[in-house]
Each structure stands twice: as structure tokens, then as C-alpha cells.
Structure 1
Amino acid sequence: MNFHLVPRPLLYVEAVAEHGSVQAASRALGIAASAIDRHIKSLEEANRAPLFERLPRGMRPTAAGEAMVVMTRRWRSDAERLETDLQEMRGQERGSVRLAAMDSLANGVLSDLHAWLRDEHPHIRLTLDILAPTEAARELDEGTVEVAMAFNMPRLRHQHVVWTEKLRFGCIVAPGHPLADSAETSLARVSGHPLVSQSAILPTRQYLDNRYAWFFAENAPVLASNSLQLLKGALRQGEVAMITSELDVLPELARGELLFLPLKDKGLASPTISVVIDARRPLSRAARLVSECLVSRTQTLLAEARGTPLSPAGS
């Protein structure tokens, strides 16, 4: 930005919370540690509440400090949105967009979004945070991101769902896997084959654990990770299978590197993928372009993976 609307003391609080100490924040910002410490103490005196716990090895935000960090991020987001609006008033297609999305989209939809912005809208800056669905919903509600795209997004009062689509759960295998000749499969048929799996803390695995606890109890994964790229690398080697949604492997399905076998088990609820904005805040043109690209590209990848015509936006 050419102008700075976020008060400097708030930036210092945010930096200390992020880096863990006044000294680390000083190195990151290039500001004297004494100046940062002085501003933080002034804020604490003015608010009559400590912003940090002073620990032997650093500083940790208190509840008041966390609230101030959230306010700082919202302030910065509003300042960037103002800058975007002013540029649009001047007829310039510029601006910043803050997006929250999942790691499973990183090497597919999000990579395509980056390439499209670079080619078609090179003056739009994208800030992307990889977050879990609950975190993405919270960031959207707090105003620190403008657009969120996530699996089974928690519904909040002020959300506006731009687009949502039901997904399928299935078994992912390489073309040479023993299950690869099937058009569909079931958990019972997959049982006994070596598995890889997402970590138990991730939403997809949590759903499967809650609904089909017997499956993972009887089929302990040979590899569990929160890195989807690592898991897909193991799948491409051909000896293991993974239970997940089709969303996680759209690029690999399009290239024929992996296969998706829909699960025919009864009672398996369809997960959803959604693009969501906050209805309380006007959407900038830049953010609207980003949300439209996310919807269009995801629809295209899903249609290609399923061999079906494109479904209309908002369905």
C-alpha cells in the first residue's frame, strides 16, 4: 500500500504474537526492540490489561492480546479493501484479495487460479492462507479474508454461499492396483488392502472415523499424514489405496495417474465443497473475479473427473 492505515502499535503487537518475542519482532520489522516494548506497554496501560504473558523463553498473547491481533488483521484487510475500491474508482484493475482454502486444492484449483491471475489479471495480488474449514469460516467471519473455499464449511449467520457442490467418497488407487478394474467398490472390499490415510485430525478422516470406526480399526494405515502431496506420491507407487473424496485428487484423475472408485456403502453422506463470502461486506471486483474463477475451474475439473456435463453455478 502507498498509505498506512493500520496504527503502528497494533502492528507491533501482531509481530510479537507471530514471532514470539520482542527481540524476534524487532529483527523481523527492523524496528528497535525498545520502541516495540514501549508501545506495547503503553497499550497495556491504556487498556488496563496485559496483552502478553512474559515467559522465560518468549511471550504468549493473552485473551486481550489475541483480540488485538484479530483487530489488527481485520484493520489491514479493510485497508486493503479500501485501496482496491479506490483503484477501481480510478478505472484501474488492481487490488488485493485474501483467500482461505484447503491444502487439498493446492496443486489443482489454486495453482490454476494463480496461473489465470498472472496471465489475465497481473495487477491483482492474491494472499492465500491454507486453513481447515473451521478456521476458514472463522477468518471469514472476522473479516480477515474475503473469500473462503473449503470442504463441509461450517454455516455461520452472515455467510453467503456463492456456490456449493456435493462430492463423492471413494477409494483412490493407481492404475496397476488390484482394485483398479472395478467401476465402484465398498469398504468391505477395500478391507485387507494396504492403506494410506489422512491424519486423524483432518475433517475427512474424522468423518470416516465417526461413521465407520470399524474400518480403520481393522485396517490400520501403513502411512498417515496431514500432507496430501505425500499421500498421493505413495498412491502413485501402486501398492496402497486411500479412502477420501474425489476433490483431493482431481488433477491426478485428469492426468490418469490415479483412479477414483466410488464407494457404494449405504449411509455414506456426501461431503460438500463451497465457495463462501461474507454478506455483510461488499465484494470488490478483484474478489469477485477470484471467486468466479474458483467456481468455474472446480466445476470443470469435477466434470472431467466424472465424465459429465458442467453443472450450473450455484447448484
Structure 2
Amino acid sequence: MTDQLEADAGIPVGISACLMGEQVRYNGGHKRSRYCLDVLAERFRLEPFCPELEAGLGVPRDPIRLVGKPGEDPRLVGTKDPSLDVTERLAEVSERFVEQHRHLRGFILMKGSPSCGLERVKVYHDNGMPSHSDSGAFVRALRLHYPELPLEEEARMNDAVLRENFITRVYAFDDWKRHVEPAPSHHVLLQFHSRQKYLLMAHHVEAYRELGRYLADAGRRPLEEAMQHYLQRFMAALSRPATRKTHANALMHVLGYLKRSLDGEIRQDLLAAIEDYRQGHVHLAVPIRMINHYIKRHGSDYVRAQTYLDPHPYELGLRNAI
């Protein structure tokens, strides 16, 4: 019942408040995201947050920027008034946010923001000249204190592969939060790995092998240590977008569970669909839909349970574009 109530309420995902249409930017404006509000809000319970506002900066406000040297954590200082330094304030706000939001399954960020930018945020020399690029201060805190949390910029989700990757990670992390964390055990950890096996293979085959070996004797390790190691490695592996080659490899492994149940002509049709996908002639939805058709009829409980076959709601159409 608890799982159903959570599903009905939507998966909790954080989002930069300006993307929700809230007028919290330095100039009093917003960056309302139609995709987040019109599409993702039907599946996710979006929880807006603006670290700069939380740190006490008003609206409108003097803009801030990252200042520092390569190899050092940049500071957050005023663009017009360099004596304004909110580095420590924003660090405290960010750490408190993580402490209070461990329930989140992901966070959608605002591009280019000195606090919320995921990457390629400009860092300046003290003299005001551009130096290099880094992540925003809030993002660095999230990565430090909540490294397993899926992060993505709203603008980067215009890329179909990155969009599908982020949403896949959110649903995988939600699986962990709902089915592993409430009653952790070595057995539950093994069950999670079992159903995520081919999803992991499609994203990072080396991590798939490594974590398989790790779990072979994880029962000898303290449970908390095993869970922490597994989760961080698993989520890091999923953050690497799958390619046509790695998807095709995972599909071939899944197909192996059907080879004795299907006649030669059907097997050839499925192999042809996988090859068409690998060569870029069709989208991933084509071989997945065909394989799912036969998995439902002839597959074992083990292969039917693989999240790789349905990692996110079909209605989102994410695999129709990759």
C-alpha cells in the first residue's frame, strides 16, 4: 500500500525554482520549463528550491559569479560588488538541504547558474577575466553530500539520449529507495541487482562485471558498507549514457533467454531488429517492443523482472527517440 501511495503522489524530484516559473532569478525573472511542467510533472512530484534565495539573497539582487583559480574550489562573490561573498552561506544552505531532502530521487538544474549549473559554468579571475569552467556551488555540494542523486540540467534534456538517461536513473534510484532502504538485507541487495542486471550491462559492462563479483562475497562484509559501495558504483555506472552498441549487447543477452522457445524465423526477425537498431536504422523502441512481446509469453520470471525492458513509463516515449 505504501508503494502505491508513493507512486500515486509522484516520484519526488528536486528542481531549480526558476524552472517552475517562480520569479526568483537575480533580475526578478524566471525560466519556466514547459517539458518539466507539462510532461514530467505528470510523473514526478517536483519540489522547487533556489539556493541563492535560501542563502538570503533577495529578488531582484546583484548577480553573483564564481571566482577562483583552476584546481581550487571557486568562491561565490558579487559581480558588481566583489566584497559580497556568499560562499559559506550557500555551503551551509546546501548541506542543510541535503540533510532535509534525502527522499529525493533526482534534481533538475538551471543551466549556467553559479549555484545550480551542472557543468561549464564560467569561473573568473579576481580581475574579472574568464579563467575556466566548473560546476555551480550547489551542485558541488550535492555531489559531495549526496553523490548517488541523479542530476541533470533542464537544457541538456533537449538531447534525447541525456533525457532518457536521467529519467532512467531517477526510476532506478526510486526502486532502491522503495525496495531496498526500508528493510535492508544482503538478500534484498541481491534481488535489486538481479532485476537491474541488464540495465546495468547496457550502461557500463565493466561495472556490471565488477559489481557481480563484489556481490558474490558481499555477505562477508558489513551490510551498510556493502550497500553504500554498491549504490554509489551502480548510480555512477548508470550516469554513463548507453550507446547503440551497448544496448545491442544487452538485447542479445536478453534474447538468449528465448532461443529455445522460439522457432528459427522468429529468432531471425528479432536478430534483424537488434541489428537494425545497432546500425541506426530504427529507434530502441522497435527491438524492445518485439522482444517484450515474446518475453511476456515465453520468458522466465527472472527475465520478465528485468527493469531494462521497462525502466520508465512507456507513455513517456523516451525510447522512441534514441
* TM-score scaled by length of structure 1: 0.29
